[in-house]
Structure 1
């Protein structure tokens, strides 16, 4: 009987797996006032997107390196659609967890402000 209880307990512990990244950041404060392309958005894009979408790689025929390039995907809605994983868009980053919610809010706030080159 003890072995059965031990197996049930071990099975419950092993079965508990939780990997929703944004839920781990519940208490993180996200300030989206005065978002800047150069100091906020570029940091996110260069660290999370350039490994596939730098000019030298151009995977999926998408280059996000440089303001003029990323602005194309802002204007056609693909940048936000992809990072927010909306229906009809290829989820980005591909084969990785979703960007942290604060990063998505930062990008979205910048886009909603007209995506200035600041």
Structure 2
């Protein structure tokens, strides 16, 4: 009898941790991505400098595409090629070429800037 009680208690104690439930939102909190303050000079231009201008500056001009400067970028924003390329969408050359897609937050910031009319700000 004593042995049964001890074994029951041991089984209960071993099974207790298996009843734990994780809340996904607590383990992997949503990344705070401020898309409200996206501007050309403060958001888009630094992203271009870090990820695009090594190949698409006025000096290098790979594939005849120059993204350096607002007016050059705006051409590709207006025809949809810029967003299609950075989102790796079918029918577009994925950019940065040979690299993984930009972080989701960076793309969301660029999309917000474009949705606001892609102003030169």
TM-score (norm 1): 0.76
Specify the SS of the correspondent of 2:98.
coil
Q: CA RMSD in A?
A: 1.4
Report the number of matched residues.
94
* Counterpart in the other structure of 2:46: 43
Structure 1 unaligned regions, length at least 5: 1-24
How far residue 97 of structure 1 moved from its aligned partner, in angstroms, is: 0.9
- Bigger-Rg structure (1/2): 2
How far residue 64 of structure 1 moved from its aligned partner, in angstroms, is: 0.2
2:86 aligns with one of 77, 83, 86: 83
* Counterpart in the other structure of 2:98: 95
1:64 aligns with one of 62, 67, 72: 67
Structure 2 unaligned regions, length at least 5: 1-27
How far residue 45 of structure 1 moved from its aligned partner, in angstroms, is: 0.7
TM-score (norm 2): 0.74
How far residue 47 of structure 1 moved from its aligned partner, in angstroms, is: 0.6
CA–CA distance in structure 2, aligned partners of residues 62 and 79 of structure 1: 10
2:33 aligns with one of 30, 33, 36: 30
How far residue 29 of structure 1 moved from its aligned partner, in angstroms, is: 1.4
